[in-house]
């Protein structure tokens, strides 16, 4: 008689990634706007960008190769190196 | 021995309570205390079991009193050929205790007056023959005793009632005593009952493979697909061990980055993962490529497809309603595996088209929507039939979404295939005919959801439904009678490729 089952799950416990500290103000920060290439996502980012610039932030735009795949590690590294914060847009 | 037979605290198959009074109504009653774990119990049931019907007709009721859950009792009794009544008692086995049963099997003969006349412990053919003879005197009719086959005597096993009550309760298993329900409680299911993945079953599924071998991580939650976990999924799905090489090949293909399982697993689209099986393994496993190929009825098709989907939803965390965000879903997401009817096809099979030898066994993974049936009983030329088939796909993905870049899968039934065979149409000719036939002026497609390509085109320019003929995948499968083919819509926006993997031969 079996004492246990073989789990189909990966039972390893992964430590949750802590959230980065939230900035008190956007003034003077560099914000990257990541377009995931979903339809009309760029329009949404245009509006966000306008609002960010009005609050004194600097912005730049990058895009994923395709919305249905995770972002390339190089792209994530680049965003992490050059940005204080990032905004991803999902639209349809 | 003239003690009164204690009342029974048992559960039977029928709604009516099982009482001593009811059991002796015909003249006398035989109670055989048994449990699942005891080989001597099985021996007693196997030797007495076939006689029970006849004994019952002659006035001696026969009841197997199990110290197991009712569903276990029924299964064991059926396996042993027991033709009498089956009842079950649960821990702490009050009925066994009331009868003073310390080992199983123990047989009791209860007289018409409800008194215990005789007790036989273990398997003891001469003593049981004597018991039957005594019963014969009670019922006044001749009764058949068990034959004097070897072994004549065999000691029994410990009754569960003789074990410490707490230990006995623990041995009964989980809280509600039902393994299948426990699988639901654990969430190890797609919503249908599953086979519990005990170490023994998983070992059998693995064969001599190393369960620690990894096939990579399964998106979206990136659980590692060890062979042991994949085997657990195959057990849960109901696969036989001989199916496992096909499951492994399907998992390898699905986890190939070119297939973009990540996108397919989480999309709001309905698409599932279609597994097409080609080559000799179809016959080895009795995979269905014929009648009802897209529906129920065949264990290999249904469980292989289900095993892959369980890998995605359990190991990969792509469970509908959590990380799987499919708006509607579709039944193909439970599992979708078809074999191609290579023998009935006028064309080279899919795997040969994709560069494999006909003698190789290969699985091919395609992201696919639910099938749309296409009836055509009236076309009298291959051109008309190809037109009807092709245009059936015109509204795929969305009515005015032209062109599609991703593959549509046409499953051509044998009678339709015969039309193309009779006229010497190659697969490529059919594919190109459909590609050229399904076109519309851009101006007619500019309504609602449509593509930038349509908007950019001249309104009079003809737009094709597919961006290339290669986006039309053709398979032959289905029953020999009936002119119903089908087309499976695409999984779009995934930037994915169809991926094939050879099935390992062992």
**Average of per-residue pLDDT across B25-30:** 94
pLDDT of residue A15: 78
Q: Output DSSP code: residue B211.
A: T
Q: Which tokens in the block code for residue B312?
A: 């995605």
For chain B, state the CA radius of gyration. Answer: 31
Q: Pairing mode, if any, of strands A85-89 and A30-35?
A: parallel
Q: Most A CBs within 10 Å: which of B315, B398, B497, as the mutation test of the A interface?
A: B315
Q: How far is A57 from chain B (nearest CA, A)?
A: 33
Burial class, B22, CB count within 10 angstroms (exposed 0-12 / middle 13-18 / buried 19+): middle
Q: How confident is the model at residue B416 (pLDDT cuts 50, 70, 90)?
A: very high
Interatomic CA distance for residues B70 and B87, integer angstroms: 7
Closest by CA to B260, choosing from B494, B499, B493, B500, is B494
* CA B158 to centroid of chain Cα atoms: 36
Does A70 sit within 8 Å of B236, measured CB to CB?
Answer: no
Give the 3-state secondary structure of B11-54: EECCCCCCCHHHHCCCCEEEEEEECCCCHHHHHHHHHHHHHHHH
**Average of per-residue pLDDT across A13-39:** 89
Residue B108 has pLDDT above 60, yes or no: yes
Q: Residue B144: count other Cβ atoms within 10 Å of its Cβ.
A: 14
Q: Residue B167: count other Cβ atoms within 10 Å of its Cβ.
A: 11
Burial class, B176, CB count within 10 angstroms (exposed 0-12 / middle 13-18 / buried 19+): exposed
Q: Who wins on pLDDT, B467 or B78?
A: B467
Q: Pairing mode, if any, of strands B123-124 and B153-154?
A: antiparallel
Does A5 sit within 8 Å of B314, measured CB to CB?
Answer: no
Q: Does A51 touch chain B (CB under 8 A)?
A: no
Q: Does B295 touch chain A (CB under 8 A)?
A: no
Q: How far is A54 from chain B (nearest CA, A)?
A: 32
Q: How far is A25 from chain B (nearest CA, A)?
A: 33
* CA B191 to centroid of chain Cα atoms: 12
* DSSP reduced 3-state for A80: helix
Please, which residues bridge with residue B410 across strands?
B474, B487
Average pLDDT for chain B? 94
pLDDT of residue A4: 81
Please, which residues bridge with residue B4 across strands?
B115
Which residues in B454-474 are b (16+ Cβ under 10 Å) and which e?
beebeeeeebbbbbeeebbbb
Q: Does B271 touch chain A (CB under 8 A)?
A: no
Interatomic CA distance for residues B86 and B101, integer angstroms: 17
pLDDT of residue B170: 65
Does B197 sit within 8 Å of A5, measured CB to CB?
Answer: yes
Q: Does B262 touch chain A (CB under 8 A)?
A: yes
| Contacting residues for B366 by C-beta, under 8 A, at least 6 apart | B273, B274, B276, B407, B409, B473, B488, B498
Does A10 sit within 8 Å of B198, measured CB to CB?
Answer: no
Q: Does A65 touch chain B (CB under 8 A)?
A: yes
pLDDT of residue B175: 47
* DSSP reduced 3-state for A47: helix
Q: How confident is the model at residue A92 (pLDDT cuts 50, 70, 90)?
A: confident
Residue B168 has pLDDT above 70, yes or no: no
Q: How confident is the model at residue B75 (pLDDT cuts 50, 70, 90)?
A: confident
Q: Output DSSP code: residue A71.
A: P
pLDDT of residue A1: 37
Closest by CA to B438, choosing from B418, B470, B462, is B462
Residue B399 has pLDDT above 80, yes or no: yes
Please determine, for the modelled complex, whether the ipTM score is greater than 0.90: no
Does B196 sit within 8 Å of A66, measured CB to CB?
Answer: no
| Contacting residues for B355 by C-beta, under 8 A, at least 6 apart | none
Report pLDDT digits (tens) over B266-277: 999 999 999 999
Interatomic CA distance for residues B110 and B135, integer angstroms: 9
Interatomic CA distance for residues A36 and B288, integer angstroms: 42
Q: Which residues of B touch A37 (CB under 8 A)?
A: none
Q: Which residues of A touch B449 (CB under 8 A)?
A: none
Omega of the bond prior to B105 within 30 degrees of 0, cis?
yes
A-B Cβ pairs (cutoff 8 Å, strict)? 63
Q: Which tokens in the block code for residue B277?
A: 């099986």
Residue pair B157/B170 in contact by the 8 Å Cβ criterion:
no
Which residues in B89-117 are b (16+ Cβ under 10 Å) and which e?
bbbebbbbbebebebbbbbbbbbeebebb
Q: Who wins on pLDDT, B360 or A40?
A: B360
Which residues in B395-406 are b (16+ Cβ under 10 Å) and which e?
ebbeebbbbbeb
Q: Does B480 touch chain A (CB under 8 A)?
A: no
pLDDT of residue B449: 92
Residue A91 has pLDDT above 60, yes or no: yes
Q: Pairing mode, if any, of strands B28-34 and B106-110?
A: antiparallel
Biggest CA pair distance of chain B = 103
Report pLDDT digits (tens) over A33-89: 999 998 889 999 999 999 999 999 999 999 999 999 999 999 999 999 999 999 998
Q: How confident is the model at residue B428 (pLDDT cuts 50, 70, 90)?
A: very high
pLDDT of residue A2: 41
Residues belonging to chain A: 92
Interatomic CA distance for residues B311 and B324, integer angstroms: 13
**Average of per-residue pLDDT across B7-29:** 91
Give the relative orientation of helices B299-310 and B227-237 as an angle to the nearest 10 degrees: 130
**Average of per-residue pLDDT across B232-240:** 98
């Amino acid at each position: 008689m079996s004492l246990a089952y073989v789990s189909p799950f990966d039972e390893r416990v992964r430590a949750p990634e802590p959230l980065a500290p939230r900035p008190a103000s956007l003034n003077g920060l560099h914000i990257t706007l990541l377009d995931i290439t979903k339809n009309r996502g760029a329009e949404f980012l245009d509006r966000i960008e306008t609002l960010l610039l009005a609050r004194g932030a600097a912005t730049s735009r990058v895009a994923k190769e395709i919305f249905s795949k995770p972002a390339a590690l190089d792209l994530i590294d680049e965003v992490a190196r050059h940005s204080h914060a990032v905004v991803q847009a999902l639209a349809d | 021995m003239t003690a009164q037979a204690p009342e029974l605290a048992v559960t039977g198959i029928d709604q009516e309570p099982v009482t001593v009074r009811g059991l002796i109504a015909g003249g006398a009653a035989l109670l055989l205390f048994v449990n699942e774990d005891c080989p001597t119990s099985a021996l007693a049931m196997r030797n007495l079991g076939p006689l029970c019907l006849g004994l019952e007709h002659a006035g001696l009721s026969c009841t197997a009193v199990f110290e197991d859950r009712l569903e276990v009792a029924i299964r064991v009794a059926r396996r042993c050929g027991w033709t009498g009544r089956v009842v079950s008692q649960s821990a702490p086995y009050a009925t066994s205790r009331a009868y003073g049963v310390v080992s199983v099997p123990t047989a009791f003969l209860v007289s018409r007056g409800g008194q215990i006349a005789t007790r036989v412990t273990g398997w003891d053919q001469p003593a049981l023959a004597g018991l039957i003879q005594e019963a014969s005197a009670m019922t006044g009719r001749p009764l058949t005793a068990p034959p004097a086959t070897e072994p004549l005597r065999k000691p029994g096993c410990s009754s569960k009632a003789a074990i410490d009550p707490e230990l006995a309760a623990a041995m009964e298993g989980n809280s509600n005593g039902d393994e299948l329900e426990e699988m639901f409680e654990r969430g190890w299911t797609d919503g249908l009952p599953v086979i519990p993945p005990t170490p023994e079953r998983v070992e059998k599924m693995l064969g001599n493979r190393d369960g620690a071998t990894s096939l990579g991580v399964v998106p979206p939650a990136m659980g590692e697909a060890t062979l042991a976990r994949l085997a657990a999924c195959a057990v849960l799905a109901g696969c036989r061990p001989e199916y496992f090489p096909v499951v492994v090949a399907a998992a390898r293909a699905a986890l190939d980055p070119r297939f973009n399982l990540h996108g397919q697993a989480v999309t709001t689209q309905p698409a599932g993962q279609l597994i097409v099986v080609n080559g000799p393994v179809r016959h080895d496993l009795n995979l269905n490529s014929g009648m009802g190929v897209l529906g129920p009825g065949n264990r290999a098709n249904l469980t292989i497809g289900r095993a892959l989907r369980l890998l995605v939803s359990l190991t990969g965390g792509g469970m509908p309603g959590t990380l799987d965000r499919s708006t509607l879903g579709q039944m193909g997401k439970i599992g979708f595996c078809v074999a191609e009817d290579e023998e009935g096809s006028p064309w080279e099979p899919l795997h040969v088209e994709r560069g494999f030898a006909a003698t190789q066994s290969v699985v091919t993974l395609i992201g696919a929507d639910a099938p749309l049936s296409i009836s055509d009983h009236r076309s009298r030329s291959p051109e008309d039939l190809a037109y009807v088939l092709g245009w059936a796909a015109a509204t795929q993905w969305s009515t005015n979404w032209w062109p599609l870049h991703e593959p549509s899968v046409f499953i051509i039934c044998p009678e339709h295939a015969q039309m193309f065979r009779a006229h010497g149409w190659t697969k490529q000719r059919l594919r190109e005919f459909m590609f050229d036939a399904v076109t519309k002026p851009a101006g007619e497609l500019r309504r609602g959801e449509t593509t930038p390509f349509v908007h950019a085109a001249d309104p009079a320019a003809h737009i094709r439904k597919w961006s290339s003929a290669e986006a039309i995948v053709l398979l032959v499968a289905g029953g020999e009678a009936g002119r119903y083919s089908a087309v499976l819509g695409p999984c779009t926006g995934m930037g994915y490729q169809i991926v094939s993997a050879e099935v390992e031969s062992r």
